[in-house]
Amino acid sequence: MGQGLLVTIPLTVISFALALGIAVICAMIQIADVKGLKQVVRFYIWLIRGTPLLVQLYLVYFGLPDLGIALPAFPCAVAVFALNEGAYCAETVRAAIESVPKGQMEAGYCVGLSYIQIMRRIILPQAFRTAFPPLSNSLISMVKDTSLAANITVTEMFMTTQRVAGRTYEHLALYAEVALIYLLFCTVITWLQRLGEKKLNAMNGGNVIRA
Amino acid sequence: MLEIRGLKKAFDGHEILKGVDLELDKGDVLAVLGPSGGGKTTLLRCLNYLEKADEGTMTFLGQTMDMPAMNRKDVAAYRRHTAFVFQSFNLFSNRTALQNVTEGLIIARKMAKSEAEKRALAALERVGLADKRDAYPSQLSGGQQQRVAIARAVAGEPDVIFFDEPTSALDPELIGGVLDVIRALAEDGMTMIVVTHEVRFARNVSTRVLFMEDGRALASEPTAVFFEEQKNERIRSFLRSLDRKDD
């Protein structure tokens, strides 16, 4: 099971990091109203949110080889998880950016900053503070969703557990143990979330009261 | 120094500015008065290109420009000479008072950090808030936030500052402090356009008054003439109604 954890952790971390990148890019395209690309982003989010994650995994791992695109299991899982989570997080990030008052952008223009500078230095840091709790939520979901990768032969934690259980028939003990490890993993993330929120709050001088 | 001719602006076919002229000399303090919905704020926002004018020419520092034709680069260059103070302050929430002032200096004007901080501190000193340099906007009162916003405006050493109802969002007891700061700027010779409902302030501080109603300038004249020799019956009744409120 320890070996499985060594797959689960990088699978989660890499996928989520990529998902965040996808989310910010998709959110920015929607906010900045980039012609053409905006429709592509909308389509992508619609497609991903409208189909089950497990089906997406099957489609990419077992389906795409029919078109001559055969990815090894681990990269395939990373790609699917990143694309899947990216679509959900894109909406979180977009909502958070839109929650920053318009006056922040105008004030930025008036002191001579460019759109990109205002976004990067003023708007996104404030949006990140708003997006942080729901993004942590997404990360916690993802930790557990990675167990689905067992279905496409990724030997992550759950797959390893299944194998051991198949050999020893200690189902209750083994599945309880793996549940406990997921729980522990998520507890650490919850704890980190609280720490992060405190830090982000301090960076804005406590609770923001917006006039 | 600043001259506007035939400024027009419509939103969704609804004409808010119907051809406004305006002129301002260096050191002038132009008070823009008039009833709500008359186009005062839209005029000011067009002057700093927060709204794009539909028609109109602007002559600024000897250069004449067609306002709707200004591109992003022209606007950025123009804004280096101006500053804007908002009704709702709009301080950067994730920056301290000092950082709010230095942000534009360091990032937009590429000033060295130490130089920018020196200048920002002097600006905060000017509005009486040097001791709040490390406070975030959420830790400041509305009046203090607006004074920091004025410090941010002053620090860029603009040729003209636009004030959009700078005291309208403030509690009554905080208004005086902000008006005192603006008055001090006027005494230092700062050129300003102030959209305001504070008639007494306009009378005591401004050098000219522009009266806006229904998208037009009903009057544009020296302050003394506006208040003491007002011939326009509509303006006289507007001023009378405000006098009653003051009592």
Residue A208, in any domain of the structure: no
Sign of the torsion formed by the C-alpha atoms of A40, A42, A45 and A47? negative
Structural domain contains residue A117: yes
Q: Provide the CATH number for the domain around residue A29.
A: 1.10.3720.10
What residues of chain A score a pLDDT lower than 50? 208-211
Asked, for residue A210, whether it belongs to a domain, the answer is no
DSSP state of B82: E
| Count of domains observed in chain A | 1
pLDDT of residue B166: 94
Nearest to A10 by CA among A198, A192, A143: A143
* Within a domain: A35: yes
Looking at this predicted complex, what is its ipTM?
Answer: 0.92
Contact state of A122 with B95 under an 8 Å Cβ cutoff: yes
- Predicted TM-score (pTM) of the model is 0.86
Domain ranges of chain B: 2-81+162-246, 92-157
Chain B nearest C-alpha distance from A33 (Å) = 17
Q: Smallest Cα–Cα separation from A152: which of A88, A74, A99, A79?
A: A74
Whether residue A142 is contained in a domain is answered as: yes
Which residues form the domain of A53? Answer: 2-203
Asked, for residue A169, whether it belongs to a domain, the answer is yes
pLDDT digit string (tens) for A66-85? Answer: 999 999 999 999 999 999 99
Whether B95 sits inside 8 A of A104 (CB atoms) is no
Q: Which of B80, B107, B139 sits opposite A206 (nearest CB)?
A: B139
Chain B residue with the nearest C-alpha to that of A125 = B94
C-alpha to C-alpha distances, B66 to A154, B46, B131, nearest whole angstrom: 64, 12, 44
Neighboring chain A residues of B84 at a CB cutoff of 8 Å: 106-107, 110
Structure tokens at A16: 């989520």
Residue A16: how many other CB atoms lie within 10 Å: 22
Asked if residue A209 belongs to a domain, the reply is no
CA distance A54 to A145: 9
pLDDT < 50: residue spans in chain B: none
Q: Is B91 on the interface with A (CB under 8 A)?
A: yes
Indicate whether A211 belongs to any domain.
no
SS (H, E, C) chain A: CHHHHHHHHHHHHHHHHHHHHHHHHHHHHHHCCCCCHHHHHHHHHHHHHCCCHHHHHHHHHHHHHHHCCCCCHHHHHHHHHHHHHHHHHHHHHHHHHHCCCHHHHHHHHHCCCCHHHHHHHHHHHHHHHHHHHHHHHHHHHHHHHHHHHHHHCCCCHHHHHHHHHHHHCCHHHHHHHHHHHHHHHHHHHHHHHHHHHHHHHHHCCCCCCCC
A111 and B96 in contact by Cβ < 8 A? no
Domain B2-81+162-246, CATH: 3.40.50.300
Q: Does A32 touch chain B (CB under 8 A)?
A: no
User: Cβ of A204 and B86 within 8 Å?
Assistant: no
Give the C-alpha separation, B62 to B66, whole Å: 13
CA B107 to chain centre: 23
Asked if A75 reaches chain B (Cβ–Cβ under 8 Å), the answer is no
Q: CA angle, B7 as apex, B4 and B11 as ends, to 5°?
A: 150
CA B64 – CA B58 distance, rounded (Å): 6
